[in-house]
Chain A
Amino acid sequence: MEALKEQVEEKKKVIATLRNQPWRMKRRLVVLKEAQEFVERFEGALGKGRGRKLYAFKVMMAKKLIKFKRDFENFKTACIPWERKIKDVESHFGSSVASYFIFLRWMYGLNLVLFGLMFGLVMLPEILMGLPYGSIPRKTVPREEQPTAMDYSVLFEFGGYCKYSFLFYGYYDHERTIGLLQFRLPLSYLLVGVGIFGYSLMVVIRTMARNANEGGDGAEEGDFTFSWKMFTSWDYLIGNPETADNKYASITTSFKESIVDEQENQKDENIHLRRFLRVLANFMIISCLGGSGYLIYFVVKRSQEFAKSENANLSWFEKNEVEFVMSLLGLVCPPLFETIAELEDYHPRIALKWQLGRIFALFLGNLYTFLFALFDEVNAKLESEKSIKNSTEWIYNQYHANYSSFFNTTDVSIILYTVVEFVKLIVSDIQVTYLTILIGDFVRAVTVRFLNYCWCWDLEAGFPSYGEFDISGNVLGLIFNQGMIWMGAFYAPGLVGLNVLRLLTSMYYQCWAVMCCNVPHERVFKASRSNNFYMGLLLLVLFLSLLPVVYTIMTLSPSFDCGPFSGQEKMYDVVMETIEQDLPAFIGNIFTYATNPGLIMPAVLLMVLALYYLNALSKGYQQANLDLKRKMQMARDEEKNRRNNKDSTNQVMKDLEDLLPNKSLAPPPIEEDKSPKTKPGAARKGVNLQKDVSLAAPNPRAPVTRAPGPRRGPPGNARGPQPGPGRGRGRGGPPRQ
């Protein structure tokens, strides 16, 4: 009975792994049929006896589940958009350019979900069940702004009706429950705001984990250069003749380069000059970064002074100075960094990593400086608002009727002001990106194409020629844009919707631009082995954008007149209130116990210990891995040498041989200097290149229990150290006699 059950299980497993078997299709179909018949026949038989109905029910449910999962998978694949477009791009440009578009599509999916959450749980209830526009002060455009509220220029800057709409934080009412269903809007707002981060975090980590498995375990860079070049350099996705030609040329070049590398000796470099140049380059770049941070701070302060003065007679430039300066910095600095980096003379892949790191530091620095400058202003205004609040309350007690008119004349909600600035920045960033593509790629391509007829040198082959698609720049831009969206989503619910639109248009626009104006890359360097480099960057950006939001939730007390948390001391008081009033008493008790420091400290301690333990475990595995590699290497070399009838080049084996009975009576021969530290695959004269064994050192961890050298005494007692890698592994060798 048991055996039968096992057989059924086995057959089921065979069916599940059928597609992974390297069999001919016919054989698979035959095996599938057999296995399915077997399972059906005997599953019925197993169901005899007690629990037969239950077993039959379980089996039926399992079958339904499989069918449901399959239908769902089919549905999901059918829903994936833009498959044709991406395939087109792939066949023309190869897999690395297409990876950007695949990343863009993934972002679009993520943003759709976030938008769904925000819209369904926050915006829709407020629109449907909340108080309509105009009923309370925070939802109305103030009297003095009303004449211009519908102007396009004002709307474009998110003032006017836009500012007082559901797109921004200020519109939401702080009533505890709204509408018929008693929907708790403030609570929902807070939870959705936090949930957005939680969901994004989960999705990013899940994707990273999935990619990590594909990355291939870490073989050394130099181990398989030629083999990998030979077997993995052709991109099977290429379907376009031009691209194929390009690829042939680049593969040939790459082989020639590797051959030259192998045959050349190490260049006699002036190390000091190189180091000095690198230090100089880094110094220049750091001063650039510092300068750009200071410039932004200065410009933000200036714009606040402009805002204090009369609004009407400011030029467009002065009004949008901040965005203009930030976009300019984002455009000018990366090429500048690249030029400075020429001093450093790194291998292209390493240079690419440095470049990406520096661009990252630039964007991050700019963004945080911008935020700090704004926060400074916010704090200053909050101070003044506090004094207004005290006097207002006094007035409120005295003149109830004048309450609403008083509000119409004061500057409400500083946070709203900050958020509007932020949103303007994001929008201008998007505009600049699109403009850059238009000018940098399209106009350039058009001029090269048409001016070529009447120009003295060949514009297409020489300068400026057609542009290549800048993968890393675009991916970074996308990541930073997402970071800004995450930062702003809590205070401007409409921002996520805006981002969905942006990603959608980006997809079509960039697909068109790349097919129309770009040429395939001449040389392809990936920044990392798997896509995890960019995912890791995204994760970092997620955490960094979480910080300001958490800070404001925890420390800033909300304005007392706008937003869903007005009236509370701190924003998270909404949650406390709900726990106290709506949930049964014992849950409140549980929370009080759980947030007791006496409980939290041991929990944190436990997590730290777990981290330490897992770290030690992983180090242990890595060491075991290295040992295994060494063993394989040694075995391989031994085989080779045996076939070539050479003496062993392995130090350990040599020492072992020396320790053999008759040899040990003679003094040890003076060896030629065989330094075990030769780089693997180091260049030697001539075509025959032999890899030196660099791993010949004995196991450094174990103590050497006896020194090598000539020994006295009868051969019978001369028990050498244990065979195998690493001498003295058995602690405490044979005792001396």
Chain B
Amino acid sequence: MGNKQTIFTDEQLDAYQDCTFFTRKEILRLHGRYHELAPHLVPMDYTKDPDCKLPLALIVNMPELKENPFRNRIVESFSEDGMGNLSFNEFVDMFSVLSEMAPRELKAIYAFKIYDFNVDNYLCKEDLEKTLNKLTKEELTPEEVELVCQKAIEEADLDGDNKLSFADFENMITRAPDFLSTFHIRI
């Protein structure tokens, strides 16, 4: 191939290819996208592993995420500090999990994290209510919201504690026929 690029060393590129579902070209393209979010902050030379994080506000303005009602939660779930500041590693990780080639089980784990608004490792009623309100832009009446959340918990809750643990969620989501096609972002 012999593309003389100086952004990453060859070992770094190979390592990224082993750790994500992306090819070499896609990783370089991702770096381009990351760079254009904040050209002054993001260095062009990543061979020395610079420590650079971009804030939440910049990332959720990307065209792929802008219209997504869960964009804040998505970015927060992939950030190490939980506040949405993404380094390039986390940026690549996010798009790798959301890509077409990620397996169902991996996507289910991150979907659970995304919908867990209060970050307590359970999807309790408040989490579901928030999800529903974001989905419908608060067009449903409070009684309808209550009904839907109640029904959802009833359907999926296996151990009867009135909230969804990861096992409950996974059992429900892996059977959904649309899950893989909708939980997908193309970059």
Q: Which residues of A contact B (CB under 8 A)?
A: 15, 18-22, 24-26, 28-29, 32-33, 70-71, 73-74, 77-78, 86-87, 90-91, 95, 99, 214-219, 223-228, 230-241, 243-244, 248, 251-252, 255-256, 258-259, 262, 526, 529-530, 632, 636, 639-640, 643, 687-689, 691
Inter-chain contact B19/A19, CB cutoff 8 Å? yes
- B26 CB–A CB distance under 8 Å: yes
Q: Judging by beta carbons under 8 Å apart, are B80 and A248 in contact?
A: no
Provide the bound-state CA to CA distance between A258 and B156, in Å.
17
Interface positions of B from 126 to 164, Cβ below 8 Å from A: 128, 131-132, 135-137, 139-140, 143-144, 146-148, 150-152, 154-156, 158-160
Would you call A252 and B25 a contact (CB within 8 A)? no
Q: Which residue of B lies closest to A228 (CB)?
A: B176
Which residues of chain B from 93 to 132 have any CB-CB distance to chain A below 8 Å in the complex?
Answer: 93, 96, 98, 102-106, 109-111, 115, 128, 131-132
Sample of 7 further A-B pairs with CB below 8 A, known A223-B155, A230-B148, A233-B178: A86-B186, A227-B155, A230-B132, A236-B185, A530-B177, A687-B146, A687-B147
Residues of B within 8 A of A228 (CB): 172, 176, 178
On whether the beta carbons of A237 and B184 are closer than 8 Å, the reply is yes
Residues of B within 8 A of A78 (CB): 23, 25
Chain A interface: which of B30-38, B40-48, B63-71?
A: B63-71
User: When the two chains form the complex, which single residue of B25, B92, B174 contacts A77, counting CB atoms closer than 8 Å?
Assistant: B25
B25 in contact with A248 (CB, 8 Å):
no
Greatest chain A CB density within 10 A among B18, B111, B183 is at: B18
Residue of B nearest to A235 (CB): B182
Beta-carbon contact of A95 and B184 below 8 Å? yes
- What is the minimal beta-carbon distance from A633 to any residue of chain B, in angstroms? 10
A236-B183 contact in complex given A29-B15, A77-B26, C-beta closer than 8 Å? yes
Q: Which chain A positions have C-beta within 8 A of B178?
A: 228, 232-233, 526
The smallest beta-carbon distance between A100 and chain B, in angstroms, is 13
Residues from chain B with a CB closer than 8 A to the CB of A252 are 136-137, 139-140
> Known contacts A95-B182, A224-B172, A230-B128: does B67 contact A240 (CB below 8 Å)?
yes
Once A259-B148, A529-B177, A639-B160 are accepted as A-B contacts, the answer to whether A22 and B110 lie under 8 Å apart by CB is yes
Determine if B9 is an interface residue (Cβ-Cβ < 8 Å). no
> In the complex, are the beta carbons of A28 and B154 less than 8 A apart?
no
Contact B160 A640 (CB under 8 A): yes
* B148 CB contacts on chain A under 8 angstroms: 226, 230, 255, 258-259
**A26 CA / B88 CA spacing, docked (Å):** 10
**A224: B residues at CB distance < 8 A:** 155-156, 172, 175-176
* B155 proximity list for chain A (CB < 8 A): 223-227
| A239 and B66 contact, CB distance less than 8 A | yes
A70 CA to B25 CA, complexed, in Å: 12
Contact status A227-B140, CB under 8 Å: no
The answer to whether A256 and B68 have CB atoms under 8 Å apart is no
A18 touches B19 (CB 8 A): yes
Task: List chain B residues, Cβ under 8 A from A238.
Answer: 67-68
- Residue contact A216 to B147, C-beta cutoff 8 Å: no
User: Judging by beta carbons under 8 Å apart, are A227 and B156 in contact?
Assistant: yes
Q: Which of A33, A632, A691 contacts B154 (CB 8 A)?
A: A691
Task: List the A side residues contacting B152 at CB < 8 Å.
Answer: 226-227, 230
Q: Which residue of A lies closest to B97 (CB)?
A: A22
Do A237 and B25 form a contact, CB below 8 Å, given A18-B18, A252-B139?
no
Nearest chain B CB to A523's CB is how many angstroms away? 14
Q: Which residues of A contact B17 (CB under 8 A)?
A: 70
Whether B93 lies near A24 (C-beta < 8 A) is yes
Say yes or no for B6: interface residue by CB 8 A criterion.
no
Main secondary structure of the interface of A (DSSP, over half): helix
- Chief secondary structure at chain B's binding surface: helix
A19 engages B183 (CB within 8 Å): no
Closest to A637 in B: B160
Determine if B89 and A26 form an interchain contact, defined as CB atoms under 8 angstroms apart: yes
In the A-B complex, the 4 residue pairs with the smallest Cβ-Cβ separation, listed nearest first, are: A25-B89, A529-B177, A219-B175, A244-B67
Q: Given the interface contacts A224-B176, A225-B155, A639-B159, does A237 sit within 8 Å of B185 by beta carbon?
A: yes
Complex alpha-carbon distance, A233 and B173, angstroms: 12
Shortest CB-to-CB span from B156 to chain A, Å, is 5
Known contacts A230-B152, A639-B160; A71 and B1 CB within 8 A of each other: yes
With both chains docked as a complex, state the minimum distance between the C-beta of B122 and any C-beta of chain A, in angstroms: 15
Please tell me which one of the listed residues A19, A33, A87 contacts residue B186 in the complex, with CB atoms under 8 A apart: A87
Q: Chain A residues near B147 (CB, 8 Å)? A: 259, 262, 687
In the bound complex, do residue B106 and residue A22 qualify as a contact, i.e. CB atoms below 8 Å apart? yes
By a CB distance below 8 angstroms, the chain A residues around B68 are: 234, 236, 238
- Per the bound structure, the CA–CA distance linking A531 and B104 in Å amounts to 17
Q: Are B135 and A230 in contact (CB under 8 A)?
A: yes
**Residues A234 and B69 in contact, CB atoms below 8 Å apart:** yes
Across-interface contacts of A234 in B (CB, < 8 A): 68-70, 135, 182
What is the chain A residue whose CB lies nearest that of B96? A19
Known: A259-B144, A259-B147. A20 touches B173 (CB 8 A): no
**A236 engages B98 (CB within 8 Å):** yes
Output the nearest chain A residue to B114 by Cβ-Cβ distance.
A231
Q: How far is the CA of A28 from the CA of B137 in the complex (A)?
A: 38
Given contacts A22-B109, A227-B172, whether A32 and B15 have CB atoms under 8 Å apart is: yes
6 A–B contacts, CB within 8 A, in A order = A18-B18, A19-B20, A25-B89, A233-B178, A235-B182, A632-B158
Residues of A within 8 A of B185 (CB): 236-237
Known: A230-B128, A632-B158. A239 touches B18 (CB 8 A): no
Taking CB atoms, residues of chain B closer than 8 Å to A217 are: 174-175
Q: Is the CB of B23 within 8 A of A230?
A: no
Residues B63-89 near A (CB distance < 8 A): 63-64, 66-70, 80, 89
**Residues of B with C-beta under 8 A to A214:** 104, 180
- Shortest B67–chain A CB gap in Å is 4
Name the one of A25, A235, A691 contacting B92, with C-beta atoms under 8 angstroms.
Answer: A25
Contacts of A223 in B (CB 8 A): 155, 175
Name B98's closest neighbour in chain A (CB-CB). Answer: A236
Q: Which of B69, B106, B154, B173 contacts A232 (CB 8 A)?
A: B173
Would A29 and B89 be within 8 Å (CB), given that A20-B106, A639-B160 are in contact?
yes
- B181 at interface (Cβ–Cβ under 8 A)? yes
Task: State in angstroms the CA–CA spacing of A33 and B186 once bound together.
Answer: 29
Residues of A within 8 A of B66 (CB): 239
Q: Are B156 and A32 in contact (CB under 8 A)?
A: no
Rounded to whole angstroms, the CA-CA distance of A224 and B176 in the bound complex is 8
- Residues of chain B contacted by A18 (CB below 8 angstroms): 18-19
B-side contacts of A235, CB under 8 Å: 182
* Those of B6-26 within 8 Å (CB) of chain A: 15, 17-21, 23-26
- Smallest Cβ-Cβ distance to B179: which chain A residue: A232
Given the known inter-chain contacts A19-B18, A239-B64, please indicate yes or no for A643 contacting B160, CB distance below 8 A.
Answer: yes
Nearest Cβ in chain A — how far from B17, in angstroms? Answer: 6
Smallest beta-carbon distance B85→chain A, Å: 13
Q: How many Å from the CB of B132 to the closest CB on chain A?
A: 6
B-side contacts of A689, CB under 8 Å = 151, 154
Distance in angstroms between the alpha carbons of A28 and B68 in the assembled complex: 28
Report B63 CB to chain A, min CB distance, Å. Answer: 5
In contact, B151 and A215 (Cβ under 8 angstroms): no
Q: Which of A216, A231, A237, A262 contacts B115 (CB 8 A)?
A: A231
Task: Give Cα A216 to B20, complex, Å.
Answer: 24
A600 to B139 CA separation, bound complex (whole angstroms)? 68
A231→B151 contact, CB < 8 A: no
Chain A's nearest CB lies how many Å from the CB of B83?
Answer: 15
With a cutoff of 8 Å between Cβ atoms, the chain B residues found around residue A240 in the complex are 67
**Contact residues in A for B136 (Cβ distance below 8 Å):** 248, 251-252, 255
